[in-house]
Amino acid sequence: MIWLRATTLQTLNTMGEGNMVGHLGIRFTQLGDDHLEATMPVDSRTQQPFGLLHGGASVVLAETLGSVAGYLCTEGEHKVVGLEVNANHLRAVTHGEVTGHCKAVHLGGRHQVWQIDIYNDKNQHCCTARLTTAVV
């Protein structure tokens, strides 16, 4: 197990209340030994004007997953801040929900790298993102 902080899905979902995470409907759904998953609806909150999932919403899902996972891999007063995020949008999504799957690529004492892959309801790969964080 990579997590250094004890938590539950309920606690993670409570953290999202009253901020962008809750506003976009992001819900943590799985906390595995080495991965974290969350879903996000594809609706008026997350679509661009042409009815497609907004690329920025996918990046919010990716950065949310990576930042929370990064925090769970720290101890004490350490915090995690994003340094760089990039995303490749592979397939359009018009409805339903998407699921983000986050795994560590590198867990260092000063920085971390996270791989986040996002899938549609048909389990088709829609977006791949990479987040680099600093541990402060």
The annotation places the binding site at 82, 89-92
Binding-site positions for substrate read: 82, 89-92
Active-site residue, from 63, 77, 84, 97: 63
Secondary structure in 3-state letters for 104-120:
EEEECCCEEEEEEEEEC
Q: What per-residue string of b and e applies to 42-76 under the rule 16 or more CB within 10 Å gives b?
A: beeebbeeeeebbeebbbbbbbbbbbbbbbbbbee
Q: Quick check: is 63 catalytic?
A: yes
Are the beta carbons of 72 and 114 closer than 8 angstroms? no
Residues with catalytic function: 63
